Amino acid sequence: MSKPLSQAAAAQAASTPTRRTVSSSRISRPLGWLVPAVTVGGLLPIAVLILDASTGALGANPVQRAELQTGLLALALLILSLACTPLRLVTARLGLAGGRGWTWPARIRKSLGLLAFGYAFLHFLIYLFDQGFTLSTVAEDVVKRPFVTAGFTALLLMVPLALTSTPRSVKRLGFARWTRLHQLVYVAAALGALHYWWGVKKDHTPPLVAALVIALLFVIRLLGRKKARRSVVSG
């Protein structure tokens, strides 16, 4: 992360004079602790999970608990990564950070996204373990049960995103194509929430909250983009 060329930073570079971008990145440079902190904090639940498993705190059905928690962690981190750009847009609207909005969320977006993918993959591995790595059962689940299909598709969609999360990939794909590819994250998140909805037996409140938050973030994003287009036209 020596030079985070994220969408937000690039968009900012396009819309503001170069000099201001340089000085703004200099002001936020002392945030060097931020990405390591997010990585360590995001991995902390794994340590607690291992500790819980070794002390029996996962209860009578530890595999099911671990499966559930890693799934929840994946969805929570995916939503946090989706919140980064809306957070910048909203803070800009509120006139914070000299009207440009907070730039630090853009710095941790990649880490949050990769953490989400990591937990989703771990969730899938625990599911495979639960099925005794019987691939025929897994294949049947994926094809026949919408609940599993949704979760599996979400995981598959996150693979290309994780693979192209480096600044080099942005350069190689070109910013526009990279952005379009990474819009898949909304599909993955929506499928994740659907998977969660179908996964609970009765109390649908938590998955509903997750779905509403994703929808809200998406709307903020759309409004932000519309406004940016308008300002391009009028400016």
Shortest distance (Å) from residue 171 CB to another protein: 16
Binding of residue 77 to another protein (CB under 8 A): yes
Binding residues among 48-67 for another protein as defined by CB under 8 A: 48, 52, 56-65
Binding of residue 18 to another protein (CB under 8 A): no
**Size (the chain), residues:** 235
Q: What is the DSSP letter of 3?
A: S
Shortest distance (Å) from residue 94 CB to another protein: 22
Write the CB contacts of 195 (distance below 8 Å, at least 6 apart in sequence).
Answer: 71, 147, 148, 150, 151, 154
**Residue carrying structure tokens 């949704």:** 150
- From residue 198 to residue 227, the character string flagging contacts with another protein as x (rule: CB under 8 A) and all else as - is xx-xxx------------------------
Give dist(CA 25, CA 4) in Å, integer. 10
Residue 212's H or E segment, with its range, is: helix 205-234
9-24 CB burial, b ≥16 within 10 A, e <16: bbbbbeeeeeeebeeb
Determine the interface stretch with another protein among 132-140, 166-174, 186-194, 216-224 (rule: CB under 8 A).
132-140
Binding of residue 44 to another protein (CB under 8 A): yes
Q: Are 70 and 192 a contacting pair, CB within 8 Å?
A: no
Return the number of the residue (60 or 176) whose C-beta is nearest another protein. Answer: 60
Return the number of the residue (17 or 56) whose C-beta is nearest another protein. Answer: 56
Q: Are 100 and 24 a contacting pair, CB within 8 Å?
A: yes
Give dist(CA 104, CA 96) in Å, integer. 12
Determine the interface stretch with another protein among 9-17, 69-77, 182-190, 227-235 (rule: CB under 8 A).
69-77
**What residues line the site for another protein (CB under 8 A)?**
22-23, 25-27, 29-30, 32-34, 36-38, 40-42, 44-45, 48, 52, 56-65, 68-69, 72-73, 76-77, 130-132, 137, 140-141, 144-148, 198-199, 201-203
